[in-house]
Amino acid sequence: MKIIGHEKEKELIRRFLDKNYESYSFLFEGKSSIGKKLIALQTAKAFLCEKNEAFGCNECKSCKLVLDIISNIYENKENPAHPDLKIVFPENNKEIKINQIREIIEFFKVKSVNGKVVIIDEAEKMNIEASNALLKTLEEPPENSMIILVSSNPSKLLPTILSRVKRVKFKPLKKEEIIEILKQKGFDEEKAKKLAVLSEGSLEIPVAVLDNELIY
């Protein structure tokens, strides 16, 4: 599954991974529904690759598991489990609570040959207790670990958290990229072009339009 767009951002991430740091802490920020979470998964795939290839070999057991997760996100299916990858979402789409951060801390305590990755989606929804608990982990990250915060509203994150992550700012998608993504999702070119006109650089509006059956 090819992840379309954000070539400059992907190259920046690749250069950071080439440095072979003991731990990484990223913030992927930008408009909602532009592919930040998918690129976070692609980054996790590279970090956990058993062959240590740039952005993953796509052949080892770890890479195949992450590819299944990426594919399932495109198809809105339930994700398979990966022993070294944890994805955190707001509970009931409202907030991320301290118990979820405690689960992350326990997750990092289990050692792994290839490392451990945590992706926190909609990170701006962490409540203050969760934010403070995560801050302690960011201050002293476990060895061979990666934490990726994904946010469309980074101004709501604590300044102390922002100061401890490498911020990668994603630009809105181009219209032709949105057309290509929609075609990848199974739409014909005519409908993809109509939806792309409404896009404003993200998939949020096209998806909402489809959900409300405004285009047939």
Amino acid found at 185:
K
| 43, 11 Cβ separation under 8 angstroms | no
State residue 214's pLDDT score. 42
Which of the listed CATH numbers 3.90.78.10, 3.30.930.10, 3.10.129.10, 3.40.50.300 matches domain 7-169?
A: 3.40.50.300
In the numeric block, which tokens belong to residue 51?
């062959």
| 147, 26 Cβ separation under 8 angstroms | yes
Instruction: Output the pTM of the full model.
Output: 0.89
pLDDT per residue as tens, the chain (216 positions): 578 889 999 999 999 988 888 899 999 999 999 999 999 999 999 999 999 887 789 999 999 999 998 887 655 556 668 999 999 999 888 999 999 999 999 999 998 988 999 999 999 999 999 999 999 999 999 999 999 999 999 999 999 999 999 999 999 999 999 999 888 878 888 888 888 887 888 888 777 666 554 433
- For the chain, what are the domain ranges? 7-169, 175-211
CA 56/CA 76 separation, integer angstroms: 23
Backbone angles phi, psi at 97, to 5 degrees: -105, 170
CA 57/CA 195 separation, integer angstroms: 34
Measured CA angle at 160 (ends 154, 166), to 5 deg: 60
State residue 198's pLDDT score. 79
State residue 80's pLDDT score. 66
